Structure 1
């Protein structure tokens, strides 16, 4: 008699899994780590870009992992994320694009045509089974009386990142932290795309203008800049921010350089790498932007899995620790994290220029992908 599988999980919505995984499908392979609290998928490109998403166990109606009491995970393996996405959409999952998203992020409850009907978007029940280490990962999709089973080869992972399992972000030495509506970031990147730049320059200060801007450099049609102003004629800067200004688009904005330095935070990144996060930008309701003193940039997106209610106004939801607004309903939101290594080589690119400012506050950012 066959032994029970090492891991089994059942989801009633293959669409949720498909949407989250497609956000990081910029490379053919994904590393998979199954833990007691959920499944972590990691995709990287040339060791300078990494995308991570965490499928929390609350997304599944059944979640069983058979490991020893002293173990919290099973050996990491890799699979073809392309094959996984093809399997999840076997019954015709509708594509959630920026044209159908809620203006504040998340999924729109309206459907543009008959082929986007809710019954197709849900795509039935998804069962994930992993019999033992080294065995294929089995995906079973059931819609009514029709069942499709796919066995995907798993591969041994050679070489691993250090630190927390990804491109290292030094949370103790952050020089920039900001939380803003994701659509503002998405629109800014789209605006800069018009000049086809080769590099994106992140420019920030809490003392002198420009306080927060993105610049597109090296394009054949010239350079361009999107500047998020701290005040307008109709919306004066709040009195609490006098002497320490922040963009109106940001909920939280902190520039905190090392002691004894002066200047501003200014760092360059390959523009094509930033665009890899475009799908997550379009779907998310909020984004937490962090940059450490080595120039590593983290964009962590909060994606609403319901009707797009996680907006910046009333009824605001927060991260898993309840640091931003009220805590979200379990399974109502998910987080996708992108990390970028900066461009180096030129004199201005070798390190971040930073400016003296206020200290960091540990409760300003999402921390869902630990």
Structure 2
């Protein structure tokens, strides 16, 4: 019996029901923000937003649009709950991280409202398993106050060139310095580690740079330890948007295309490192 024929006895009690034919499309996105055990899930008619925060300095959001699911229904304006992300990912990959060729794990996810567990029903090759994950009271989320209206500099580029930069920069550095300027070197990433100062420059007319908008020269430093988790999203993405606002706050938006060609987004917000003198 397939998952699509499964109807829970309390189906009508659920305020959120989502079904997807390939659970990897969900687990891969969630892995991109998995640097803490817990995450807050915000469900609306647009889909799911899953948020992870660290040290009140960095916030990661995974946006899984409703269109990624084969079926998606929510019976109220929104629903918010906290869940153990580590346990959720273990359940999503319960049949293994890599299925046999042509074999996908189908997923049905249900939530009945405040205090109820998150119910998962997974099916692969005719084998069914169900998981029940305790939900918790959601924490108040940080508001970085990052507004598009206050963005001063923005670069959109192919992710592959930034992946190369990460492999060349010195990870013994405490900070990553980002320079954006209307003039040369335009866009520069710098580290200051045991190997000395290392710079990676990208001309605005490079084939790797899709868009370059720079209002004024900005040099900001960010703790590398806070940015390292975003490498997971970088490895999955095909395109990245790098934005800074007038305060030097950083937004990294990753466009991730799943196995079915659908697009989801992961975004990291990070505050500048105020302990480093320019």
- Same-fold status (TM-score > 0.5): yes
Please tell me whether the aligned partners of residues 82 and 138 of structure 2 are also in contact (alpha carbons under 8 angstroms): yes
Matched, 1:250 2:227: no
Please tell me whether the aligned partners of residues 49 and 339 of structure 1 are also in contact (alpha carbons under 8 angstroms): yes
Alpha-carbon separation, structure 1, partners of 2:91 and 2:238: 27
Matched residue, 1:147 = 128
Aligned residue runs from structure 1 range 202-351, under 5 A: 202-207=178-183, 209-217=184-192, 219-228=193-202, 230=203, 246-257=205-216, 264-306=217-259, 332-348=262-278
Please tell me whether the aligned partners of residues 189 and 275 of structure 1 are also in contact (alpha carbons under 8 angstroms): no
TM-score, normalization: structure 2?
Answer: 0.91
The structure 1 segments of at least 4 consecutive aligned residues displaced by more than 3 Å after TM superposition are 245-248
Pick from 16, 27, 44 the counterpart of residue 35 of structure 1.
44
Higher strand share: 2
Please tell me whether the aligned partners of residues 247 and 253 of structure 1 are also in contact (alpha carbons under 8 angstroms): no
Matched, 1:200 2:186: no
Measured against aligned partners, the alpha-carbon deviations of 1:242-261 in whole angstroms (never above 9, x if no partner) come to xxx6444311111113xxxx
Listed as ranges, the gaps of 5+ residues in structure 1 are: 95-115, 231-244, 258-263, 308-330, 349-370
| Cα distance change on mapping 1:9 and 1:65 into 2, 3 Å | same
Please tell me whether the aligned partners of residues 56 and 142 of structure 2 are also in contact (alpha carbons under 8 angstroms): no
Alpha-carbon separation, structure 2, partners of 1:79 and 1:277: 21
Alpha-carbon separation, structure 2, partners of 1:306 and 1:148: 23
Pairwise CA RMSD of aligned residues? 1.8
Matched, 1:159 2:140: yes
Pick from 108, 114, 129 the counterpart of residue 133 of structure 1.
114
Matched residue, 1:185 = 162
Aligned residue runs from structure 1 range 17-166, under 5 A: 17-67=26-76, 72-74=77-79, 76-94=80-98, 117-120=100-103, 122=104, 124-162=105-143
Larger Rg: 1
Please tell me whether the aligned partners of residues 197 and 223 of structure 1 are also in contact (alpha carbons under 8 angstroms): no
Aligned residues: 269
TM-score, normalization: structure 1?
Answer: 0.69
Listed as ranges, the gaps of 5+ residues in structure 2 are: 1-8
C-alpha deviation, 1:332, in angstroms: 1.4
Please tell me whether the aligned partners of residues 296 and 340 of structure 1 are also in contact (alpha carbons under 8 angstroms): yes
Please tell me whether the aligned partners of residues 179 and 189 of structure 2 are also in contact (alpha carbons under 8 angstroms): yes
SS at match of 2:196: coil
Measured against aligned partners, the alpha-carbon deviations of 1:243-301 in whole angstroms (never above 9, x if no partner) come to xx6444311111113xxxxxx21000111222211121112111111110111111111
Alpha-carbon separation, structure 1, partners of 2:142 and 2:201: 35
